[in-house]
Amino acid sequence: MDKVTFDQLQETLYHEELPNGLHVYILPKQGFNKTFATFTTKYGSIDNNFIPLGKEEATKVPDGIAHFLEHKLFEDEEGDVFQLFSKQGASANAFTSFTRTAYLFSSTMNIKQNLKTLLDFVQKPYFTDESVEKEKGIIEQEIRMYDDNPDWQNYFGLIRTMYETHPVKIDIAGTVESINKITKEMLYTCYETFYHPSNMVFFVVGNIDPEETMAIIKENQAGKKFSDQKEIQRFFETEKKEVHEKELVLPMNVNTGKCLVGFKDSNPILQGKDLLKHELSIQLLLEMMFGQSTENYQKLYDEGLIDDSFSFDYSGEQGFGFSVIGGDSDKPQQLAERIKSIVDSFEKTDLDENLMEGLRKKKIGYFLRSLNSPEYIANQFTRYRFNDMDLFDVIPVLETIKKEDLQTAFKEHFITETQMSRCLVTPKGA
């Protein structure tokens, strides 16, 4: 077992790669009641075209199948896994993102048993035709719920303006039509391909003894057999560099309009420290242009173009990366124009070193605060790990970012002519 200590943060991280390829990470946290564990596969909504395990040819699967599989894994031969966790005083959950499916529990008791339950249910699929059919009604209502959610529609609308072919544009839960095509056989195919331990990470954070915890996980894994797996072949259609379309307007049953502006990475191939540096640079730039302590924010607010819902974010993975800026607005069109002109005029100003220093501090403080949250640590660490980054590099990398790095990142990312698009939600009939 390796051990890395972060003196300033007063954290120690333990790690081991097991013989079956599973990477296990353990972060002890004194003073916490709860233990939080995630078991995550590098498999999400974008992985819809791949060569199934043991096959020669690629196959394409229906939209939303990774999410469907996430739902169905909770059913076991003996019944419902939620029930089992409850009996052991744990609450379990799961989520599917573009690139990951994570299963998790949090608990303050029976930790050993709960760890085993998490490992066992994820590694024991049990699908029947009947249970697959039954799940369709539940997921249909999940999709309908998102259909009525203007923020979700706005966000996915924006992604659809940016991407023409890349599967990031597919709604994570799929559509009512696509999920109805899903069969038990397809679920097994996806499961066998993507749930091999070598494609997964197990993360435990809490008031635990690292040696003992590692021993439990190792023993559990040693008792199971897995076939060797070569690297998974995934296919993504070539995505053009520039945005797919400049604007999408979605009239919805709402009172208040919404505006999101996106910037699409033109060459999303970065991984590791380069991606971390890129991500942090873009986030600093967004803070400089749109943060609450800027003149721009104050103006937009005073002019009544934004309210407290205004926010911004950048997310990048291999194959896609974009920033999103916006929020509720009575005048979504006008807000989109203003965001564009703020970016355009930022290009002409010189980067203020003092401002940069202040925002660097802010980001460091935010990072420290997020280390209060076991959920954040486990989820974010895993996301970083799948992109060859290390969560605990955030502060060191933040400290090395220079003015020139920001200038480069700005030039590459914030190109209003070709890389910018917008999605507006407007009140129907208004």
Partner 1 sequence: MKVGPLNIHVLPSTTYKTNTVFLHMRSPLTKETVTKRALLPYVLQSGTKDYPTRKEIRKELDDLYGATLNVDVSKKGEFHLMSFRMEVANEKFLSDDRPLFERALKLFASVLLSPKESDGAFDKSIVEGEKRTLKQKLASVYDDKMRYANKRLTEEMCEDEPFGLFVLGDSDDIPSIDEKNLFEYYKEVLNSDRLDLFIVGDVKEEELGPIMNKYFKEFSSIAERDQNTVPENNINKLDRKPREVIEEQEVQQGKLHIGYRTNVTYKDDDYFALQLFNGVFGGFSHSKLFINVREKASLAYYAASRVESHKGLLIVMSGIESKKFDDATKIIFEQMEAMKAGDFTEDDLEQTKAVFKNQLLETMDVPRGRIELEYHNQLSDKKRPIEEWIKEIDNVNKEDIVRVAGKVQLDTVYFLKGKEETNNG
Buried b (16+ CB within 10 A) or exposed e, 198-223: bbbbbbbbbebebeebbebbbebbee
Of 114 and 382, which CB lies nearer to partner 1 in the complex structure? 114
For 241, what's the count of Cα atoms within 13 Å in the CB-facing half-sphere?
7
Task: Please name the residues in contact with 52: beta carbons below 8 A apart, sequence gap of 6 or more.
Answer: 59, 189, 192, 193
Of 96 and 193, which CB lies nearer to partner 1 in the complex structure? 96
CB of 42 to partner 1, least distance (A): 26
User: From residue 226, how far is each of 22, 196, 357 by CA, in Å?
Assistant: 11, 7, 50
CA distance 207 to 142: 35
Q: What secondary structure letter does DSSP report for 58?
A: -
CB of 204 to partner 1, least distance (A): 15
User: From residue 90, how far is each of 84, 130, 230, 233, 398 by CA, in Å?
Assistant: 9, 28, 35, 36, 37
Of 344 and 357, which CB lies nearer to partner 1 in the complex structure? 357
CB of 20 to partner 1, least distance (A): 30
* Exposed / middle / buried, residue 361 (Cβ in 10 Å: 0-12, 13-18, 19+): exposed
Do you know the residue count of the chain?
Answer: 430
Of 235 and 366, which CB lies nearer to partner 1 in the complex structure? 366
CB of 213 to partner 1, least distance (A): 18
CA distance 67 to 117: 21
Tokens linked to 419: 């890389």
Task: Please name the residues in contact with 248: beta carbons below 8 A apart, sequence gap of 6 or more.
Answer: 157, 158, 160, 161, 421, 422, 423, 424
Of 22 and 286, which CB lies nearer to partner 1 in the complex structure? 286
70 catalytic residue (yes or no): yes
Of 62 and 374, which CB lies nearer to partner 1 in the complex structure? 374
Of 162 and 289, which CB lies nearer to partner 1 in the complex structure? 289
CB of 134 to partner 1, least distance (A): 5
Buried b (16+ CB within 10 A) or exposed e, 177-193: ebbeebebebbebbbeb
CB of 32 to partner 1, least distance (A): 5
CA distance 428 to 266: 34
Task: Give the angle 51-56-59 at the CA atoms, nearest 5°.
Answer: 40
User: From residue 239, how far is each of 11, 101, 169, 222 by CA, in Å?
Assistant: 41, 24, 11, 42
Catalytic site residue from 11, 17, 70, 353:
70
CB of 147 to partner 1, least distance (A): 4
Of 284 and 324, which CB lies nearer to partner 1 in the complex structure? 284
CA distance 253 to 429: 9
Strands 320-328 and 258-264: antiparallel
CB of 168 to partner 1, least distance (A): 23
CA distance 344 to 349: 10
- Which residues are annotated as catalytic? 70
